[in-house]
Chain A
Amino acid sequence: MAETTGEAHGAADAAHGDGGGLVFHPMDQFIVEPLFGDGAVNMLTVTNVTLWMAIAVLCIMALMVLGTSGRGIVPGRVQSVAELAYGFVYKMVEDVSGKDGVKYFPYIMTLFMFIVFSNFLGLIPMAFTTTSHFAVTVVLALAVFIGVTALGFVKHGVKFLELFWVTSAPLALRPVLAVIELISYFVRPVSHSIRLAGNLMAGHAVIKVFAGFAALAAVSPISVLAITAMYGLEVLVAFIQAYVFTILTCVYLKDALHPHH
């Protein structure tokens, strides 16, 4: 049944005693569980979250550190990928945030590498997608939000509030716009985090639902085709959502560095 999807959660599925027919457990793949033994999940418990975040960290190290250890003037295969990632994010920060945003490039690079590797590792069958959890993406988005807001006040003091005072609008409209701007500013971390987790969760759950249909012989070919198509879409989504998260971070950083409209 669900084991055929590859997205299935092995331990959880083993417990499924339900008889034949259609069984959908699309959300089981998101369960956080201890890696060793059973029991409650405490703050320091080593869980599947730990495992997949560790794999992501190791993959990033392998790409960015081991891959560039040759320091070749003419890059090898892995080194060119590392340079490509570097150039991609560096150019994004420079283009969107401006020259003075380059100072914060390592932070944005950290976010991008973590998200892109978590997203792609989550596409491996049986994997756990760390970035499909709001707990993770909210922390990422709040880190950006708090960091950027603090940076704005440190750099510009009270003048940072000019961000909400649209001087190009007629004077009568400005207070109204200020309220709207203020609300939209505080909605930023919400949309920033939910966009990433929501996209990944939805894609993975949909694949799982299609996989559930594979139990019916009549529709299983369609189901397999649908899974294949969804997987292709999810590969795109994995990269695009990492890109979107990063470029929004750059936009917020630009607002903090240059709050004047």
Chain B
Amino acid sequence: MATEPYQQELAGACVGPNGSAIGMPQLCGDWVWNQVFWLVLALVAIYFVLNRVALPRIAAILAERQGTITGDLAKAEDLKRSAEEAEAAYDKALADARTEARKIADETRAEIRAEVEEAEAKADADIAAKTAESEKQIAEIRASALANVEQVAKETAEALVAALGIDASKAELDAAVDKRIEG
């Protein structure tokens, strides 16, 4: 213990005359109420600052961030869904177009075949008609040729008879020629 009164005055019962601590300063009763007072003041100050300003502000920041993140995730989910929808629509359109194209191709093919068949039939008919006509003409030509041969034969026979000096009527001659041709 510091014994000299002025030292007691100066530093209290817990600090020796050389300024060094006597025992554990933690057990010095002289300082307790000073520390308690300033501690309570400090705690009250910290509590008010935290409770009134800092903690609500940080809570708001964290909530806002959480909200932003959730909103962004939801937006991304929406975008993903619409992208999937667009892809599905594209696939469907592609499939539709493909079937449509096949249908059109089939139809066109059938149409062309029908046209071709029609044209073939028409051509066949034409050919048949022309053949028939030609045959008729040939028959006619043959018939007229036979008639001409008869005529020529009669005239030749008449001329021959006349040249031979035999008098014979035309009717007798014709009948004789007809009889010969038929014979």
Contact = CB atoms under 8 A, between A and B. Distances in A.
Contact of A32 (B18, B24, B25): B25
Interface in A42-76: 42-45, 47, 49-50, 53-54, 56-57, 60-61, 64-65, 68, 71-73, 75
B94 interface: no
B53 to A, nearest CB: 5
B61 A15 contact: no
Given A106-B55, A109-B50, A30 B32 contact: no
Given A41-B12, A44-B37, A86-B55, A134 B26 contact: yes
B46 interface: yes
Interface in B19-59: 19-21, 23-28, 30-43, 45-47, 49-51, 53-55, 57-59
Given A30-B26, A71-B60, A110 B50 contact: yes
A83 B57 contact: no
B38 to A, nearest CB: 5
Interface in B47-83: 47, 49-51, 53-55, 57-62, 64-65, 68
A31 B46 contact: no
B10 interface: yes
A135 B32 contact: yes
Interface residues of B, number: 48
Given A106-B55, A197-B26, A53 B39 contact: yes
Interface string A2-19: 000000000111111110
A133 B21 CA distance: 14
Contact of B14 (A31, A64, A111): A31
Contact of B54 (A12, A50, A56, A68): A68
A114 interface: yes
A240 to B, nearest CB: 20
A82 interface: yes
Contacts, number: 163
B9 interface: yes
A60 B15 CA distance: 32
Contacts of A130: 35, 39
B11 interface: yes
Nearest to B44: A110
A248 interface: no
A110 B26 contact: no
Given A40-B9, A53-B42, A64 B61 contact: no
Contact of A33 (B11, B43, B50): B11
Nearest to B23: A27
How extensive is the interface on chain A, given as a class? 35 or more
Interface in B96-124: none
Contacts of A27: 21, 23-25
Contacts of A40: 9, 12, 30
Interface string A69-102: 0011101000100110011000000000000000
Contacts of B54: 64-65, 68, 82
B46 A135 contact: no
Contacts of B19: 11-16, 28
Contacts of A107: 47
A83 B24 contact: no
B42 A32 contact: no
Given A65-B54, A107-B47, A135-B32, A114 B20 contact: no
Contacts of A47: 31, 34, 38
Contacts of A53: 38-39, 41-42
A161 to B, nearest CB: 30
Interface in A148-187: none
20 contacts: A11-B19, A12-B19, A12-B21, A25-B20, A27-B21, A27-B23, A28-B20, A32-B25, A32-B34, A39-B9, A42-B34, A57-B49, A65-B54, A82-B58, A83-B58, A105-B55, A109-B55, A113-B46, A135-B32, A139-B39
Given A53-B39, A57-B45, A64-B54, 6 more contacts: A15-B20, A27-B25, A45-B34, A73-B64, A106-B50, A111-B43
